Amino acid sequence: MSEFQAYLQLGFNHITDSNGYDHILFIMAICSVYTLVDWKKVIVLVTAFTAGHSVTLALSTLGYVNVNPDVIELLIPITILITAFLNFFYKTPKSSFAPKEKSPAFRYPLALGFGLIHGLGFSNYLRALLGKEADIFNPLLGFNVGLELGQLIIVFIILVIAFAMIELLRMSKLSWIQILSGIIFGMALSLILNNELFRTLAGMPVDS
């Protein structure tokens, strides 16, 4: 296995690892309001997120940006919480004769901006893998491609489930969005409340 392939596998495993489900939760949050028929909108949205985290992943791994990992670990669930919360205000057509719904314009810069934060989280893991390795171009590229492959699979699964629930089981789209976003919101809130930095700042006891 080449170095590129090895880091591609590591990137794929990192984004799909259930033990580090915070990134998966964010992808679920930004896709919650869509189904398979909205695939073009999702591609644009995911591309914005990809552009954001690719930039900071590269800059941080190369040493141009350095942010306290504890701060990033708190900011990531906050991005999930905000995204899930905004989903509750997503408006769907009142009838099949209504004009086709449009994604609010703010969702795209939001995905881009929050992608910058998630890229810093990815870089912490990648830097730990690289150690003192001199040539990081191939590892960086392979890791990033692995992340994207894993991310696309997650997006596809979410859209298929949404399509099945809404089109096949006839659940209303609004109910689907609110239920899924509510679950994601609750999980993100739990991550925040159990975050060591948050508990320290809030004057709460921290588990030793």
Considering the domain boundaries, does residue 75 fall inside one? Answer: yes
Considering the domain boundaries, does residue 111 fall inside one? Answer: yes
Mean pLDDT, residues 178-182 = 97
- What is the pLDDT, as a whole number, of residue 142? 92
Considering the domain boundaries, does residue 80 fall inside one? Answer: yes
Number of domains present in the structure of the chain: 1
- Domain region containing 156: 3-202
Considering the domain boundaries, does residue 208 fall inside one? Answer: no
Considering the domain boundaries, does residue 207 fall inside one? Answer: no
Tokens 């791994």 found at: 61
Considering the domain boundaries, does residue 158 fall inside one? Answer: yes
Question: 122, 73 in Cβ contact below 8 A?
Answer: no
* Higher pLDDT pick, 95 / 19: 19
- What is the pLDDT, as a whole number, of residue 102? 59
Considering the domain boundaries, does residue 125 fall inside one? Answer: yes
- What is the pLDDT, as a whole number, of residue 17? 85
Would you list the DSSP string of the chain? --HHHHHHHHHHHHHH-GGGTHHHHHHHHHHTT--GGGHHHHHHHHHHHHHHHHHHHHHHHTTS----HHHHHHHHHHHHHHHHHHHTT----SSTTSPPP---TTHHHHHHHHHHHHHHHHHHHHHHHHTT-S--HHHHHHHHHHHHHHHHHHHHHHHHHHHIIIIIS---HHHHHHHHHHHHHHHHHHHHHT-HHHHHHTT-----
Residue 11: closest CA among 131, 122, 120: 122
Q: Which pair of tokens denotes residue 18?
A: 């259930």
* Higher pLDDT pick, 199 / 92: 199
Mean pLDDT, residues 89-111 = 69
Mean pLDDT, residues 72-90 = 96
% of the chain exceeding 70 in pLDDT: 92
In the predicted structure, residue 2 carries a pLDDT above the cut 90? no
Q: Could you tell me the maximum CA-CA distance found in the chain, to the nearest angstrom?
A: 60
- What is the pLDDT, as a whole number, of residue 193? 96
- What is the pLDDT, as a whole number, of residue 96? 45
- What is the pLDDT, as a whole number, of residue 98? 43
Considering the domain boundaries, does residue 39 fall inside one? Answer: yes
- What is the pLDDT, as a whole number, of residue 134? 62
